[in-house]
């Protein structure tokens, strides 16, 4: 096969785009590389004009980008953690609900039951025993909560 054959050219363009994706992450060039390889396959099967090749490349790249980017992004990017000022991860707790087992009267800490375990808890307002709370943060072994 000749190096000037459109299938070879589109394959090389796709390969370059894949390699550039490694250097410039963002999961965009990956899909244009896929579009280039699809265009290369079509050039192997048929002999489309340059206009048709460009149309196939652009349309397939955009379709791949729109339909697969969210899925591929989830595949390659791990779960993002939200950190407090002291580096504690709160994503495991933030937004969860718990029940107050010992009233919280600021500045004194109270206790909440969360996943079967009693935790120290503090809030900006008074929260009575039995109330449902939402966890908004964590400071070492103390949960920061607010009334729901």
Residues spanned by the domain of 51? 6-76
Question: Is 92 among the domain residues?
Answer: no
Question: Is 140 among the domain residues?
Answer: yes
Residue 84 or 115, more confident:
115
- The CATH code of the domain that includes 117 is 2.40.50.140
Say if residues 35 and 61 touch (Cβ distance below 8 Å): yes
What average pLDDT does the segment 117-132 reach? 94
Q: How many CB atoms lie within 10 A of CB 49?
A: 9
Same domain, 115 and 70: no
pTM of this prediction exceeds 0.85? no
Give the mean pLDDT of the chain: 89
Location of structure tokens 């050219």 = 9
Same domain, 60 and 110: no
Say if residues 2 and 11 touch (Cβ distance below 8 Å): no
Same domain, 62 and 15: yes
């Amino acid at each position: 096969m000749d190096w000037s054959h459109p299938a070879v050219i589109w394959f090389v363009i796709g390969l370059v785009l894949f390699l550039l994706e490694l250097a410039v992450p963002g999961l965009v060039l990956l899909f244009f590389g896929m579009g280039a390889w699809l265009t290369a396959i079509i050039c192997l099967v048929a002999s489309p004009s340059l206009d048709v090749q460009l149309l196939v490349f652009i349309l397939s790249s955009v379709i791949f980008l729109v339909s697969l980017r969210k899925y591929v992004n989830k595949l390659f990017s791990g779960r993002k953690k939200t950190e407090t000022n002291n580096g504690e991860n709160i994503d495991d707790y933030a937004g969860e609900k718990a029940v107050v087992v010992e009233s919280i009267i600021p500045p004194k800490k109270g206790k909440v039951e969360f996943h079967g375990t009693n935790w120290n808890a503090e809030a900006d307002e008074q929260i009575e025993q039995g109330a449902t709370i939402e966890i908004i943060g964590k400071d070492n072994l103390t949960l920061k909560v607010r009334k729901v």
